[in-house]
Amino acid sequence: MTAPSAMPDPDEEPTGGTLVPFPGTAIPSGKETPLVTGVADPGTVAGELVTAEESAELDRRLPHGPARGTGPVRLLPRTRALVVTVATHQRTRRAGRMVVRNAGYAVAGSRIRLAERRARRKHLDLEQAITTLRVNGKSADDFRVLRELEDTLERRRTGQAQRGREHRIEVLRWTGGTLVVLACGHVVLLGYGVAQSIAGTGSVAAQWQGITDFWTTVASVSPLGDYWWGWALGGALGWAARCIPVGRARGTLPTWAGDTDPVPADGRSIIPDESAVLGALRHLGGLPALRQAFKEGWGTSVVPTWVQPPHIDGKGWRMQLVLPRGVPVEEIVKRKTVLAHNLVRLPIEVWPTEPKNQAGVLDLWVANPGVLSGPVEPWPLLHEGTTDYFAGVPLGVNIRGDLVTGRLSEANYAIAGIMGSGKSTLIITLIAGAILDPLVDVDVFVLAENADYDPFEPRLRTLRTGANPDTVAACVQTLRDLYAELEIRGKALKEHGERAVTRKLAEKDTRLRPRVMVIDECQALFMDAEYGEEAADTAQLLENAARKYAITVVFATPEASTASLPRKLMAVTSCKACFAIGDQQSNDAVLGTGSYKAGISAVSLEPKTPEGPGDIGTAMTRGIMGKPGLMRSFYLRKDAEVDEVTPIVERALTLRGGHDTMPGEDTGQADDVDFLADLRHVIGTDKRVRTMVLLSRLADHNPSLYGDWTSKTLKPALDDVEIPVRKSDGDSVVRADDVIQAITEREVGAVSDDDSDVD
C-alpha cells in the first residue's frame, strides 16, 4: 500500500492533483502557474502537491473550509519531482537579525560607557574646556573662568587619588587581611616551586596545580557552587541591559551587525547622521591634528561632544560638533568642497560655520539633495495684497524654505554679483514691494542702457537710464537733495515731538513720506572722475543719518570691489546680498572682511550659463536675515509670453490714487500760486525767519507744491522774486521787510503797467 505522501513516479505526469498554497501565498486566478524546481520565479507559488484525498482532508481540518480561489492547477509537462517548498523562515531570520543587531548595540554601548568612564577618570571635559579658553580667551572674565576650571581640575584629581587610597584601605579592613595573606602565600608557593625546579626535586607546574585545586575547592563550597553558569548569564544579561540602550541611542552599529541592505561601495550614507559626519571628517585630508585625533580614538573609544546632534532643520539637517584640539573651524571651511563630496552633496548644499558664542564648535547645515534647485514659490503678493514700508516686503526664502522679509525702514542695501547671477531679480522684487505701499516714492537710476525697470516707470518718481554724464549728474543731485531733505524731516519730527518716522506720521505729514532710491550699476557713479568722490561722501553721510528718517538707498553692481563699493560706504550699509561672485576678495568686498574664511561665501555659487540656470537668484546675505545665510529671491517674470510686473504696477497706481500726488509732480496749480503771498503768510509777524524754518512752514502751508522743496530749490525761487538771503548770527535768514518790499515793488510795477496801457 502506497503512503499518501509517497514520491510519484518521475516518468509519470501528475494528473488530477491540487496545489495547496502555504499560508500567506495566493494563486493568481485564470493563469497557469509554472512550477520550476530550484527557481525562485516571481510567478511561482510556494506549495506542496497533494492528492485529492489529502486535499479533502485538509479542507476538513481548516477552520474556514476550503481556501478561496484555489482549485486544480495544470502543471507543466515533464514535471519529474515534487514542487520544492521555498522556505523563507522570515520569523527566524528576523529574530536572528534582531539578536545580531542588539549584540552590536551592546558592543557599541559598552564602548561608549568605557569612553565615558575614561573621560570621567581623566577629566577630559575640563581639560578640553581649559584648552579652549587658553586658546581663545581674551577678556578678564575668560581668564577668571580659566583659573576656576584649573582649580576644579586640581581638586578633582586630588580627591580621586584620596578616594582611591581610602578604597584600598577599606578593602583590606573589610577582608581582615585575608586577601593579602592568600596573595603572599601564593607568591611563596610559586617561589618554592621555582626553587624546587632549579634543585630538580619538583616543578612550578605542580605548585600552580595546587593553587588551582585550592580555588576550585573554594568555588565548589561557595554559594556559586555548580550554578556558576547562572551567575555568569545574569551578569551578561545585566551588562546587555545597561549597554544596549546606550548603543541604540548614541552608538554606531559595527559593520558585522549592520543591515544587509545594499549600500554604496564606499559606505557613504546620504543621511548626514553622526557616523556619516565623522566619516566625512575622517577622509577630509590635509589636517594632521584631525588625523591624529582619529588615531587616538576620537569618534570611537573617545566619544565626540555633540552640542546639537544631527536633527532635521527645515529642508536639511543641522548639527553642532566640538572639534578636537588643533582643528579650527576655518580649516574645515577651506575644505568645504571635499566635505560636501564626502557627504554626497554639492558644495552649495553644505554650510560649515563657527558660532560667534561657541569657539571651536563646527556648526554644520546640510541640505537635502537637490532642495536648492528648481524654481521658488510664486511671490506672495503676485495677485493681491499691499505692503507696509515700515514692516518690510517679501524678498525670498531661505534654504530651509522659510519666507524672508526684507526691511526697508532703517535699512540700506548693497547688492553685487557677476552678470547673469540674479541681481536684477532681487531689485525688481524689492521695488515691486515698495510701490505696493502708496506712501512710498521710488527713484531709480541705472547708469547703463538697461530696460529692466521700464515697466515700473508709471509708478516711479524718477527713472533715469544711460551711461552718460547727464545721468550721473542727475543721480548725484538726487543724493544731494535727499541729504538736504534730512534737515526738513528732522524739523518735522521735532514739530511732532517724535524721534523717528512712523507710518502714522507719514500718513499725516507729506514731508515724512518714505523715499527709496535705487542706483544700479553704481560702479559708474563711484568711479566717475568728476562726481565719484562726492557721490561716495554724500552717500555715506546720507546712510549715516537717514536711519530714522524713512529714506532707503539701494546700490547694485556687477563689479564687487572697494572702488565700486567704497569701504566707508559698506561699513554703514546694513543689508548685503552677494550673488555668484568670482573670488574671495570680491566676496569680502560685499559681505565684509573675513566673511569668506568664516564660511559666509558666495564663491561657490554659479551664474546662469547657456548650459543651465546655475544658481541664478540665490545669494549669500548678511543683515537681511537674523544670521548670514543663503536666500533664494522671488522671481517676477516679464517677457513676451508672461508679464507679471505690469499688473503689479497697475495695482500700485490704483492704491496710489487714493493718496496725495507724488512730491515733485506737476499738479497744474503752480500758475495759481502766489509765491510772494505765501512767503508773507508763513513769515507772519516775525521780523526774520531762518531758511529751513521757512521751508518747513511753506511745506505745511501747501504740501503738494512745497513738500519736496529743499534749500537748493528755495534759493533760485527767492532770486526770481529778488529777495536776498541774508545772514543773522551765522544762520541764513529771509527778512520780512525784504518780502514786503518785493510785494510793494510788484504792485507798483503793476500799476505803472496799467497806466501805460491807458495812455
Give the DSSP per-residue string, 174-225. Answer: HHTTHHHHHHHHHHHHHHHHHHHHHHTS--HHHHHHHHHHHHHHHHHHSTTT
Tens digit of each residue's pLDDT (9 = 90 or more) over 499-533 = 899 999 998 888 899 999 999 999 999 999 889 99
* E strand intervals along 34-102: 47-50
Average pLDDT over residues 407-429: 90
Distance, CA of 242 to CA of 88 (rounded, Å):
34
Distance, CA of 744 to CA of 676 (rounded, Å):
10
DSSP assignment, residue 730?
A: T
Query: Is residue 30 pLDDT above 60, yes or no?
Result: no
Average pLDDT over residues 734-758: 73
Secondary structure of residue 21 in the 3-state scheme: strand
- pTM, two decimals, is 0.52
pLDDT at 216: 72
Tens digit of each residue's pLDDT (9 = 90 or more) over 196-217 = 777 777 777 777 777 777 767 7
Average pLDDT over residues 99-124: 80
Name all domains of the chain by residue range, CATH numbers in brackets: 1-88 (no CATH), 98-249 (no CATH), 274-367 (no CATH), 393-650 (3.40.50.300), 670-758 (3.30.420)
Tens digit of each residue's pLDDT (9 = 90 or more) over 9-18 = 444 444 444 4
Tens digit of each residue's pLDDT (9 = 90 or more) over 669-681 = 444 578 888 888 8
Residue 415's CB: how many other CB atoms inside 10 A? 30
* E strand intervals along 550-603: 551-557, 575-578
pLDDT at 198: 79
Mean of all residue pLDDT scores within the chain: 78
Query: Is residue 189 pLDDT above 50, yes or no?
Result: yes
* Residue pointed to by grid coordinates 518714505: 514
Confidence of residue 60 (pLDDT cuts 50, 70, 90): low
In DSSP notation, 456-483 reads GGGG-SEEEE-SSHHHHHHHHHHHHHHH
Tally the C-alpha atoms within 13 A of residue 581's C-alpha that lie toward its C-beta: 27
What's the angle, vertex CA 668, arms to CA 662 and CA 670, rounded to 5?
95
Distance, CA of 117 to CA of 138 (rounded, Å):
32
Distance, CA of 459 to CA of 298 (rounded, Å):
63
Q: Phi and psi for 278 in degrees, rounded to 5?
A: -65, -40
Query: Is residue 26 pLDDT above 50, yes or no?
Result: no
pLDDT at 11: 45
Tens digit of each residue's pLDDT (9 = 90 or more) over 216-248 = 776 666 665 566 667 678 888 888 888 888 877
Count the residues in the chain.
759
Query: Is residue 412 pLDDT above 90, yes or no?
Result: yes
In DSSP notation, 446-459 reads ESSS--TTGGGGGG
pLDDT at 190: 78
DSSP assignment, residue 82?
A: P
